[in-house]
Every structure is written in C-alpha cells, then in structure tokens.
Amino acid sequence: MADHDFRIEIGTGGSEGYEVILRTPDGGEASSIMRLTVTDKQLDMLAARIPAAVIASSVTMRSGMRVGEQPVRQLGTLLFDSLLGEAGRSMLIASRNQAVREGRRLRMVLQIRPPELARLPWEFMFDSRDDEYVCLRNPMIRYPLSLTPVLPMEVSPPLRILGMVARPADLGALATADEVARLDSALKDLVRDGQVELEWAAGQGWRDLQEAMWHGPWHVFHFIGHGAVGPAGQEGSIALVDDDSSTYHLGAKPLARLLGDHRPLRLVVLNACETDRANVVNPFSSVARTLMRNGAPAVLAMQNVITDQAAIEFSRAFYAGLAALRPVDLAVMDARQAIHLALKGSLEWGTPVLHMRSAGGGLFARVGAVAATPAQASHHHAPAEHAGVPNGGVNTRPADSAHVAGQSARSEAVRDKLVEVAAIRAPGQVNAVAFNAEGTRLAFACDGRSVLVVDEIGRERLRVRHGASVVSVSDVAVDPAAGLLLATTEDKTACIWDMTTGGLTVKVSHADTARRVVFSPDGHQLATGSVDKTARIWDASTGSQLMEFPHGGNVLALAFSPDGQLLATASGDTAWLWATASGSQLRYLTHSGTVRAVAFSPGGELLATASTDGTARIWDPATGSQLAEIRHAGSVRSVAFSPGGGLLATASTDGTARIWDPATGSQLAEIRHAGSVRSVAFSPRGGLLAAGGQDRIVHLWQVVKDSDD
C-alpha cells in the first residue's frame, strides 16, 4: 500500500534562521523558522563526533546506554527539536495516527537546500519524549528539490542486479567475500525461481564496469568497496583497482557518466564508506548526490565508515525486502532494524542514507498486485442476473478460438503491467479527475469546496477553494490549449481559473446547479450541463453564451466530439447527440437507467455511455447502433478512452475501476477501491490512468499502452 508522506522542506537561511515548511498527508501545511541553539562551530564539533561514536557503538558492551551514544542522542535531539518544535511534533503524531487508521505507512521525506544542513546526519533525529530514533519507526528518504521526479519502472522478471567488488592492494582489507556470500544466499531462492538475476563484474577496474554495463539491462548496481570524501570544491570517489593493483579513484562524475546512459537502472547501492559525505561548500560533492544530480532515480549510500558486520547485515535484509518487491524505503527501514537487532546497541543503522526522486517510494513495478483476472472479476462482482454472461459481465458478439487466445494474451499484458504509482489524499470525496494536455498535471474536484492540481507524482501544485456556500465541486476540466482550469459547483456557476496562479478569469451562471463542464477541443468554447434542464455552450474567453440545448430533465453528462462538431449530453435514461453549429438534435441513445457519463473515442468513431443500470455501452455515433455492452455490479459513473482509443476505462459504485477492449467489450483488468469510484481519466499522452471516488483518494496507475497509443 502506498505511503503517506510527511514532507519537510528546509529552505535557505537568513538572519532569523532557516525557513521550514511542513506538509502533512491530508493536505495540511505549516511554516516556521528553524533556529539552532548552538553556533555553527559547535554544530560542526557535534557532527564531527558522530562517526567515531557510531563505530564505537558496535563494540559489544553490557546493558545500558553507551557513553559513546551520548553525542549521537545530543545531536539527534537538537536536530529534531529545532526542525519540528512543538507544533511540528504534533503534526507528525497526528499524521502517524492517520496513517495507522487508514492502514498505511507514514514516510518522512526530507528536502534540504542549505549545504551546511544537507551534510548533517538527519537519520539520527531523536525524539526525547518518545525515547526513540525517528527513522527506526518511519521510513526516511532524502528527496532532491531540484530534480525531475521519475515513475516506477515496469520490470518483467527477472530483476537484474549487477554487483561489483573492488579491493585495491594499498587499502585496508574488507570482508567482501562474506558480503558477496550473504547477498548470494539472500537471493538464491528468487534466483532459482527466475525472479532475480545476480551477476558480478568480472574485474575490479573501470574498464570491467564499462564492459559489464554493455551486457544489461541492469536494474540495480551494487558496489562493494571503499569510498572517499573529496576535499573542498572537489567531488567524492569510489576506489577501483588500477592496472598495477593499486587504487584508481573513480570520481563521482565519471561514475555517473558510466551509469547514466543506462536507462533501465533504477537503483545504485554504494556499500562503501563515506559515499554520502559532502563537503560544507557543495551538497552535490558526495558520490551519491552527484549521481542523483546526473539522473539516478535512487541511490543508497553510506555517510560514515561502516563495519563489515553492519554492511553484511544491512545488505542481507535490504535485498531480501527488495527481492520481495517491498518499497525501497521500507526495505531500508527493515535493514536498519536488522542492524539494530543483530548488532545489539550498534548505531550503524543510521549510516545508510537513501536518496530518492521516484513516485510514491516505488522504484520497481509490483506486477499484477491489484488487478484481478477477468474470471476473478466475474466471480467476485458479476450480479446474479448476469451469471451466464462471459468475460466478467460482457455482452458482445461471439469470438472464435483465435480471437479468444489473442484476447487472453492482451488481457495478461494489461493486467500484469498495471502498477499504482501514487495515492493522493483529497480533502473530500473525489467527484471528477482531469489531466492537462501534457499529462504533467492532474486536477480533481472534491467535496469540501476544493479543486486540487497535483503533478505526476502527487505533489500539490495549486488548490482553489470556493466560498463557504459551496459544499461540493462536482466536475473539473482542463483547457487542452492554454492549460486553464474549469470547474462547476452547486452554486449555479462554472468558473475558469489560471492553472498556474489560481486567478479567476471567467465565470458563467445557470438558473440552477451546474453539474458538468467540458472544454471544446480547441479550448475556445466550454459547455455546461445543469439541473435547470439545459446544456449551454459559452465563449471561453468572454463568458458570453453562444447556444442553449433544452432537455426534459437534469443534464448530467457532456462531451465534445474530437472535431468539435458534435456535443453529446445525457439526461434521464437517454444520451443525446447535437450539432454544435446549428444546435439541432441528431439522434438519441437509450439505457434502462439514468445516463451518468458520455465519452467520444479519440477518432470520434465510437461513443461510450455509462448508466445506473450497471452498464456501459459502446455506440456508433454516426448511425446510433449499439456495438457492445459492458456490465458492472453497480452503477457506472464514468467512462474514458485511452489516447489511441485501444482501451476503455470505467468507474463504478461497485468499488472498481476496470479496463476494457472497446472493440470487443472484453475486460482486461480491474482495480479495486475502498468505496464507490466516481471518475476515471487517461493522461492525454498515454501510460497513466487516474481514478478517484468515495475513499477520498485519487489513485494514479501506470498502464501498459495499447498498440494504438
């Protein structure tokens, strides 16, 4: 299950201190000033004592707090109290309690701008009132402020790990053979089952690494050896072996170049001392941070010297979790706890540092974790009256065996590559979701008077709040041309905002509650549907009304055809097709229940409708003939075509969003939610599906692209 993030951003300092912004999983935000109670010199002295204290803690002693632990707790308490304060600690506790209630994890995400603070060992933050180190309770990652986030990568087994060991003759000996043996042992069952491949580079020099990279794809690179901190103004390095068996210092930037062009690589593990230490001048001077700056999705590195025993314990537990497809941040916390338990009293669990810029804490896709097979979906969700209908409740033309075989393979392809990449908490029930044209922003309309805009990994970018008279925002749309935001509420209005600034640009009004809104394909017009029994077309730049379409009941759905020449509307049990130029009614399509959604395929050759009768139907809009019928166990509230038209998504009150082949009506995959699903939307450039509803969470899924997308 996806993490809840407790985000902490530390900005640049001033005369008063450092600006801190705290963001909670439920959308709460608070800012404060971090004031350290020690001088810079005293802070440096405290930090300088940590490496020796951590190593000393691994010496076996009897019960009780070691004397050597005192500076670690002292610094950890100083960092925790200065950063959070009383108010921040209360926010952290409330977020933990919320995560527990919802059966989720709370993850701490640190974004630290000042280099003098980024180099501090935040992993040792200590809550003196709870008498615990924070990152032994909650996963903790460091998230770069300046880098573009990445989505998890779909990995068809096996997960491929490239290992490399370097033992220069002129440096101290390491227990590399033991670590290699432990890593092999931890993964042997998964290797046997074909889930993981672990290979070791044939040599110990940079040429050996370069050649090994040619034989990928590799998803993880694991280095065992020595690391070094660069002097002021210079980068850190790892120690490889030169032609004469002496040390060859491979700098962070050359290493980044060797690894950076290998696109499948998602994780670099540097089991080498001090590969996360940076000098005070440049936070990117460490090996780990240079790799991040050069595009690595995640790096796990060591901020201090680490003993062989601790390195072995950490690698064993970490890879056992990673191979079991646990999120990487959670696998790191498991490994911290393994050191804490196996080496009693050791503080070396705080030596590893995890840097990530991937969505939701995941680096690798969890294959087939949430999508049921069509047979399973039918078993769990098909109503009794549809028990004889094949394909999970699909009524369509018979198929020959070749088609069935091809459809089975297609279903497997979609289902096995359906991966949740983010779960975004909303302030209320989610009524509608919509992407911008680039697929970089997702807007959703909620109960609680809000429209939220987030980026592709779920970070809030804009929140538009309505007045106190508004209880619910019922629909949202994004202008495909200019990126404007359009939403409608029960206060009879539809409003257009600037998606960047949140400034109101246009407002139009109905005689009663406005339920649905949509932009025309060119963005020049907008259409609204209302409880006043009309649909209307307006000029998007001026708000002047251009046309009105009278209905016999509430208008609950709208969609422009891709060429803008048709408007589909829904009222009662009927979907209507209108000519936008003349306003004339062309034809109507009927269900046995109220029609709640309409959508054209990208080419305009198909129209999908959704109804409270538990069906979605696919029509030829040119003739009005029905081509296929899809069945849910509950009311169908939303339909959406993928950008190439090869997939159709539906949302239902039966607690599922489903993906179908619109050409045949066959179900390809199912996504289960904790409550009614009210809206689905594909990103315009394909690959992502958003679904939201009653559970107040917008789930963002990565979907295998169909052949047309």
Domains of the chain by residue range? 3-138, 159-361, 374-702
Residue 435's pLDDT is 92
Residue 549's pLDDT is 95
Name the CA radius of gyration of the chain, rounded: 28
pLDDT in tens, 332-366: 998 999 999 988 888 999 988 998 876 455 566 54
Tell which wins on pLDDT, 550 or 56. Answer: 550
pLDDT band per the 50, 70, 90 thresholds, residue 221: very high
- Round to whole Å and give the CA distance between 399 and 397: 6
Residue 559's pLDDT is 96
Distances (CA, A) of 419 to 413, 541, 581, 704: 12, 39, 42, 9
Q: Read off the pLDDT of each residue in 213-227 and give the average, rounded to a whole number.
A: 87
| pTM of the complete model | 0.52
pLDDT in tens, 438-483: 888 899 988 766 788 888 767 788 888 765 454 568 888 998 876 7
Residue 297's pLDDT is 83
Residue 403's pLDDT is 36
Residue 227's pLDDT is 81
CATH architecture of 374-702: 7 Propeller (2.130)
pLDDT in tens, 643-674: 989 999 999 999 999 999 998 888 998 888 88
Tell which wins on pLDDT, 74 or 405. Answer: 74
- Range among 37-46, 118-127, 492-501 with highest mean pLDDT value: 118-127
Residue 20's pLDDT is 93
User: Residue 343 in contact with residue 59, Cβ under 8 Å?
Assistant: no
State percent of the chain over pLDDT 70: 81
Distances (CA, A) of 629 to 77, 396, 625: 62, 6, 12
Tell which wins on pLDDT, 236 or 552. Answer: 552
Residue 279's pLDDT is 56
Residue 498 CB-density burial (10 A; 0-12 exposed, 13-18 middle, 19+ buried): middle
User: Checking phi first, is residue 14 left (phi over 0); if not, alpha (psi -120 to 50) or beta?
Assistant: beta
Residue 38 CB-density burial (10 A; 0-12 exposed, 13-18 middle, 19+ buried): middle
Query: Of 282, 454, 431, 275, which Cα lies nearest the Cα of 354?
Result: 275
Show the beta-strand stretches assigned E in 88-244: 105-112, 126-127, 132-133, 140-142, 159-165, 196-200, 220-225, 227-228, 237-241
Both tokens of 634, joined, read 């509950």
Residue 595's pLDDT is 94
Residue 147 scores a pLDDT above 50: no
Tell which wins on pLDDT, 708 or 509. Answer: 509
- Round to whole Å and give the CA distance between 438 and 425: 22
pLDDT in tens, 474-497: 888 998 876 788 777 656 888 888
Residue 368 scores a pLDDT above 70: no
pLDDT in tens, 320-341: 777 776 788 888 998 999 999 9
User: Residue 301 in contact with residue 286, Cβ under 8 Å?
Assistant: yes
Q: Read off the pLDDT of each residue in 139-155 and give the average, rounded to a whole number.
A: 65
Tell which wins on pLDDT, 285 or 280. Answer: 285
DSSP H or E run through 325: none
Domain 159-361 in CATH 3.40.50.20? no
Residue 153's pLDDT is 57
